[in-house]
A = this chain, B = another copy of it.
Amino acid sequence: MAPQAPINVGILGATGTVGQRFILLLSTHPFFKIHALGASSRSAGHPYVKAVKWKQASPIPETVREMIVQECKPEGAFKDCGVVFSGLDADVAGDIELAFRAAELAVFSNSKNHRRDPVVPLIVPLVNPSHLSIVPYQQSLQSPPLKKGFIVTNANCSTTGLVVPLAALESAFGPIEIVQVTTLQAISGAGYPGVPSLDILDNVVPYIGGEEEKIEWEAGKILGGLADDGKAFEHHATHPLTVSATCFRVPVLDGHSESVSVRFHRRPPPSPEDVVTALRAYVSEPQSLGCPSAPQQAIFVHNEPDRPQPRLDRDFQRGAGVNVGRVRKCPVLDIKFVVLANNVCIGAATSSIINAEYAVAKGVIGV
């Protein structure tokens, strides 16, 4: 599915936690080529190595070390980018992403700001890449209408881990009606400096501001379809989906665990064995299309009772797949299981990149 020529990409928020991850993933990408780095005005004008407080276990890629950081304006090197990835903080992401879209740039954003926009797709690439089809309508609403500029968002990290197995189950067994989920989320989900060590060493915190609302709302947009006219999302309206989430922060570096219980519309519900089979068989469209950052296997189902564990399993498929374990009957709903997803990979930058690869494969960009 590779394009004929490499595609220049820009990264907004390049010095932040998500930006650093974008740089690592894109520095070895088969056809995306890092061309522009954007950060705050304080960093602008400096070579990347001077501007960043690098916090990754791998060193800064050589091709990026001396690249001059620029401000997050749709100017300069950004004008030559076929794709712009955004890892901006929410307090600035909204306006900057709008400005980039208005400048006819294709923006793939990790930020939450535009997720609830009724014409911006919220895409978990292993679940609902087809929502990309709303892009022409999004472009048509701008004034003047846009030809190449648009915004695509991906989901909150804890939502992402949840909806992948839910999508696999709905694909096999029809609608899910109820989801109860308690998350155990890694500290890297809060960025840097993020969670003070005094708050989390020998501790868990039973609250992450805004997180539960995101999970409860985003799941419906992602798992629902498009309206018949392709101009709106139907938010799982035919079979309303009720999600109840409780979110904990735990002293884990990377990898969000989730305790999930679901009720299906179908009676009788599938058995645990059926569920395991369906999860293992699930293949998403970016996998079929050969998107290079998509996992070989979307969902790995563990047989051992004490798995998945963040430290042992978060790097499954370079963090691009999702782990499931402990599939069993729920005495209250139908089926319960545990999910583990790498919040800094499939839960963040990796999903943005697969979304962009999918857009290339579909001819929406890069042509």
The complex is assembled from copies of this chain, and their number is 4
**At the interface, yes or no: A198 with Cβ under 8 Å from chain B?**
yes
**At the interface, yes or no: A229 with Cβ under 8 Å from chain B?**
no
Could you say which residues of chain B place their CB within 8 Å of the CB of A251? 197, 201-202, 250-252
Q: Is the CB of B338 within 8 A of A203?
A: no
**At the interface, yes or no: A259 with Cβ under 8 Å from chain B?**
yes
A190-216 interface mask toward B, CB cutoff 8 Å, 1 = contact, 0 = none?
001111111111111111010000001
Q: Is the CB of B243 within 8 A of A331?
A: yes
Cα distance, A207 to B331, chains bound together (Å): 17
Cα distance, A336 to B261, chains bound together (Å): 15
Cα distance, A194 to B198, chains bound together (Å): 8
**At the interface, yes or no: A125 with Cβ under 8 Å from chain B?**
no
**At the interface, yes or no: A171 with Cβ under 8 Å from chain B?**
no
Q: Is the CB of A338 within 8 A of B308?
A: no
Q: Is the CB of A196 within 8 A of B192?
A: yes
Say which residue of B179, B202, B242, B305 sits within 8 Å of A202 (CB atoms).
Answer: B202
Q: Which residue of B lies closest to A199 (CB)?
A: B197
**At the interface, yes or no: A315 with Cβ under 8 Å from chain B?**
yes
CB distance from A348 to the nearest CB of B (A): 15
**At the interface, yes or no: A141 with Cβ under 8 Å from chain B?**
no
Measured CB to CB, the residues of A under 8 A from B are: 55-58, 178-180, 182, 184, 187-188, 192-207, 209, 216, 242-244, 246, 248, 250-253, 257, 259, 261, 305-315, 325-326, 330-333, 336, 338
Q: Is the CB of B309 within 8 A of A205?
A: yes
Q: Is the CB of B198 within 8 A of A252?
A: no
CB distance from A146 to the nearest CB of B (A): 37
Instruction: Assess A198 versus B192: contact at CB under 8 Å? Given A182-B182, A326-B246.
Output: yes
Q: Is the CB of A178 within 8 A of B332?
A: yes
Could you say which residues of chain B place their CB within 8 Å of the CB of A244? 261, 330-333, 336
Could you say which residues of chain B place their CB within 8 Å of the CB of A331? 216, 242-244
Q: Is the CB of A206 within 8 A of B325?
A: yes
Say which residue of B253, B259, B308, B315 sits within 8 Å of A246 (CB atoms).
Answer: B259
Q: Is the CB of A250 within 8 A of B250?
A: yes
Q: Is the CB of B306 within 8 A of A206?
A: yes
Cα distance, A205 to B55, chains bound together (Å): 13
* A-B pairs with beta carbons under 8 Å apart, 8 shown: A57-B314, A180-B332, A194-B197, A197-B201, A197-B251, A205-B306, A243-B332, A248-B259
CB distance from A179 to the nearest CB of B (A): 8
Cα distance, A338 to B16, chains bound together (Å): 28
* Shortest 6 CB-CB contacts between residues of A and residues of B: A193-B196, A182-B182, A182-B259, A203-B311, A207-B306, A244-B332
Q: Is the CB of A202 within 8 A of B201?
A: yes
Cα distance, A253 to B198, chains bound together (Å): 7
Could you say which residues of chain B place their CB within 8 Å of the CB of A55? 198-199, 312
Could you say which residues of chain B place their CB within 8 Å of the CB of A338? 206, 246
